[in-house]
Every structure is written in structure tokens, then in C-alpha cells.
Chains A and B, each alone.
Chain A
Amino acid sequence: MNVSQILAFLQETLPSERLEAQEMPINEQVISLPPQTLRPAVQALLEQSDVYHLSTITGQDMDGQIELLYHFWHGGGLTLRISLPRQEPSIDTIIDLIPGAAFYEREIVEMLGVSFLGHPDPQPLLLPEDWEGSPPLRREFALPEEREEEEG
């Protein structure tokens, strides 16, 4: 199934949005979605297309927003781009649809402070239980050597 077909039926599932596909290098198509449409979009992908393999979820702290990228692979790359506010970002979990997303979501919880509504076990995956301070991939987090530089 090619990207224009995927885009067409996603558009059918989400009639109120205007969807567009952008191209990234190395055979990757990106579709931006509003946060509340992620679950219906993933459900539609699983039910109506041959896309089932979620490679990973990338989270990143951009200017003024937290961005989540859901990377799928179906013989070509497909990425769903979601933007969340920086203050208390939250989004619905998709692990009931794709159980393989469990670790990726947990990592984003601890690294960026995004909460996944409905995740049954959102405890830290990599960081210690007694981690204090801001999530390490947020912009306000400084490495020890960076802190030293600031203090002089």
C-alpha cells in the first residue's frame, strides 16, 4: 500500500482534518495529526492497511512544544507527527492497540515528562526510581559539566 492510499483512507477516517504527507530523506513519509486523532488513525492503519509494525516513538522538546513521532515501517517508512503543549503534555496510550509500544511510551514518560493516559505501568524504564529533577531530554536539563560551566 503506498502513501497516497494511506493518506486517502486516513482522510476518510478523520474528515474534519486536512491531512498532508511530507517527504523525509531515505524513503520516509510524514503525516501531521492533531493529538486527539492519533488513536483513531492508528486503529484505522491496523484495520485497513498492511501497516502494523511500529518501529519506535521519538519524543523531542521543540520550541514551545513537545513533539512525538510515531515511526511505522511497511516496506517504506511512515511517521505520524503529533505536537503537544510543553506544560503538562498528555496523550492517549496506544498500547492496547499495539502492545509493542509499551517500552517506548515508558521511555517518553521519564525522558520528557509526557503522560500517557491509560498506560497500565508508566514507571521508569531506564532512570533510577529516585530520579530527581527535570526529565533529562527537556531543554531545562543540564549535564553536570554544563552546570559547572554556568557556575564558573
Chain B
Amino acid sequence: MTTQITIPIGPQHPLLKEPLSFMINVEGERVVDSALRLGYVHRGIERLCQTKTYIQNLHLFERVCGICSHVHTTAYCQGVEALLGLEVPLRGLHLRTLMCELERVHSHLLWLGVLGENIGFQTIFMYAWRDREIALDIMEELSGGRVTHAGNVIGGVQIDISDEQFYSIVYRLNDLEQRVEKLLDVILHERTLRARTQGIGYLSPEEIRRYCVVGPVARASGVDIDLRRDSRYAAYGRLHVNVALAHEGDVWARTLVRAREAIESLRLCRQLLVALPEGPTRVRAPRRVPPGEVVSRAEAPRGELVYYIRSDGSDKPARIKIRTPTLTSLITVHDQLEGVETADISVVLSGIDLCIACADR
């Protein structure tokens, strides 16, 4: 006779960096069922933003997520700019996109470190987080902040780049690219890492489509979606984005996709810098936004980020809906966990790159 035991993981748990609750039913070493509970970092941002002006909300939305803060304000600003009919100067768009790509590099390296720690591979954790500092340093130099950059404003960006900075940044980007290439080599050939991640957390392309999953998780299952290429927002219309794809659909494929994306992002950063147009970085925006509604999409490090903004003509938004990419992959956790061994739970959970602050808002 087999008995089922329920293991509670979270809301406070050493494995999780953010509060989230799982109830996992196991039979021996196998997971048979799991239930998920969100909401431990719910801050009511969608309601709160209705009481703040569009300019105050910039600071609020930057704090939806602690990792991809810049892409949140990017999606928000491009929505409000569309309602206002503002055209952002090209230099502003380039710098905005540059920050988005640096953020992707730092997010993917952070994730690789977390995966390394969860599979007991401390070396890759140390290497990935050491190398991530380069991206963080560049962002700090440009904006003054390592994580919350306050780079975006409605109408452009409030950061700029000097000739001196240009050379130093390109030099460091090249250095970082070599380091990420080295990490990619480890992912491709290191047997320990492959043994822990291959065949774990498999999602078929059909499941990805049924659950409407986005970002690297979808691309690791061979579903070719990337808003940078498909929507061509910000300065992406001026770039050629190579979308990283894999077909294995497991945690290893997600690792591979993220590492290749980081390298592609560094390439895009260089393209953006080399083609950086002269001119102003922002235009002045009026305080009041004419009535209207807009759906603004951007490719966050974890996938499609959606902002729905409705204005009633005042200086405060009437409704803003935020859909973060983590929410789409959280739905698949139940299916991914079914049948895995208890030791692989942490691998599955880290594989989808959870950002609970994003999911809860």
C-alpha cells in the first residue's frame, strides 16, 4: 500500500527567493499532485495607480518587478506616448532599447546562477553572478541605479551617453560576451548540468500554445514567438533580432535558449551603440492624457509583457492592467511537476524563471 504525503513549500522557504506557496503531494519519491497559492506579495498596484498621476506612476511601475524594472516602464511609457501621439526621438528610443537589452542579459545571468545553485552546481552560480556585475555596472553608470534605473520618462529617456562612456561600454560588452560564450560552452558540454536538467519539466509545443506560455519557456519548446521581432516596438524595427530557439522543451533547452539570448542581446547592444543617432533623447509630454485606450506590449526577459491603459482625459489613468509573463508559466507548473522526483522539484521551479513580485503585482 502506498500513502500520499503532502509537503508544503512556502510561503517562506529557503528554496524560494520570493513568497509563494506550493502544496506538493508525493507518493514515495514521486510527485502525484500539486497546488499553488499566489498573493503573498500582492500590493494592489493596479488599484493604487488610479490614485496617482501618470508621472508618479512611472516610479510605481518600476517597482512591479525587482529584476525587469526597465521593461515595465518601457511598456507603460510607449502606451502613454501612443495615447498622447508623441514621437520619441530616435536617440531616446535607442537608449531605451539598450537598457532593455542590458536588463535581459543581467536577468538571464541571474537566472543561470539561481539554476546552478538549485542543482548544486555552485561554480556556475559564482561565474554567472560575477559576470552579471558587468551588465549591472554599465546600467548603474548610465542611470545611477543598479536595479531601479528610472531611465524612462514619458516622451523618451532621461539618460544619455558620452563618447568616453561609449568606448568603455563597448569594451566591457565584448568582454562580457566572451564570458557568456564560455558559460554557453559549459551548458552545452558539462555532464553534471545536463544530467540534472535534461528531460526535466518537459512541455510540448501544443501545451505551450494551449496554456498561452510566452518567452524563453515557449521558445525552448520550439514555439517561435518574440515581440522584439514580431511587434518591432521601440528601436527593434531598426535591428535584426535573431530569435534563439530549441526543440527539446526541457529545463536544459531553457538554459540553452537563455544563454543564447544573452549573447544575442549583447550583439544588439553593440548595434544600438554603433548606430546611436545624434539629437535629443526626449520630448516634453503634457500632464493630461486625452481620452482613449491602448494595449502596449513589450518583450520582457521572461516574455510578453502587456499593459492595457485607459485614459479618461485627466492626469490620472482610469484603468491600467498589467499582465506579467511569469503568470503564463505558473499555470504550467502543475503539469510539469507531475511524476518528477522530489529532488527535481527545485529544478522544475527554477526552470521557468519565477518572478513572484511580477505575478502578484
Question: Residues on A close to B: CB < 8 A?
Answer: 24-28, 52-56, 58-60, 69, 71, 73, 75, 77, 79, 98-104, 111, 124-128, 136-137, 141, 143, 146
Contacting pair A137 B42 (CB below 8 A): no
- Closest-by-CB residue of A relative to B233 is A26
Which residues of chain B have a CB within 8 Å of any CB of chain A? 38-39, 42, 44, 46-48, 51, 78-79, 82-83, 209-214, 225, 230-231, 233, 292-297, 304, 306, 308, 310, 318-319, 321, 323, 327-328, 330-331, 360-361
Check A125–B308 contact: CB distance below 8 A: no
B323–A143 contact, CB under 8 A? no
Which among B212, B230, B304 is the interface contact of A98 at CB below 8 angstroms?
B212
Distance in angstroms between the alpha carbons of A143 and B297 in the assembled complex? 29
Shortest beta-carbon distance from B79 to chain A in Å: 7
| 24 intermolecular pairs with C-beta atoms under 8 Å apart | A25-B82, A25-B294, A26-B82, A28-B295, A53-B209, A54-B212, A56-B308, A60-B318, A71-B295, A71-B308, A73-B304, A77-B297, A79-B295, A99-B331, A100-B213, A103-B327, A103-B330, A125-B38, A126-B38, A126-B361, A127-B39, A137-B46, A143-B47, A146-B51
Are B331 and A53 interface neighbours, CB within 8 A? no
| Nearest B residue to A124, CB-CB | B39
Q: Roughly how many angstroms separate A141 CA and B48 CA in the complex, as a whole number? A: 12
Cβ of B211 and Cβ of A100 under 8 Å apart?
A: yes
- Chain A residues with CB under 8 A of B360: 126
One of A60, A100, A128 near B331 (C-beta < 8 A): A100
Chain A hits for B294, CB < 8 A: 24-26, 28
Of A27, A58, A69, A143, most B-chain CB atoms within 10 Å: A58
* Residue contact B306 to A55, C-beta cutoff 8 Å: yes
CA distance A34 to B82 in the complex (A): 28
A98 lies within 8 A of B210 (CB) = yes
Q: Are B213 and A73 in contact (CB-based, < 8 A)?
A: no
B328 touches A100 (CB 8 A): yes
Tell me if B78 and A26 are in contact (CB < 8 A): yes
Nearest 5 interchain pairs by C-beta: A100-B212, A56-B323, A25-B82, A126-B39, A58-B321
Question: Across the interface, which residues of B come within 8 angstroms of A104, CB to CB?
Answer: 323, 327
Nearest chain B CB to A48 CB, angstrom units? 16
* Cβ–Cβ < 8 Å partners of A58 in chain B: 308, 319, 321
User: Which residues of B lie under 8 Å from residue A27 when comparing CB positions?
Assistant: 231
Which residues of B lie under 8 Å from residue A125 when comparing CB positions?
Answer: 38-39
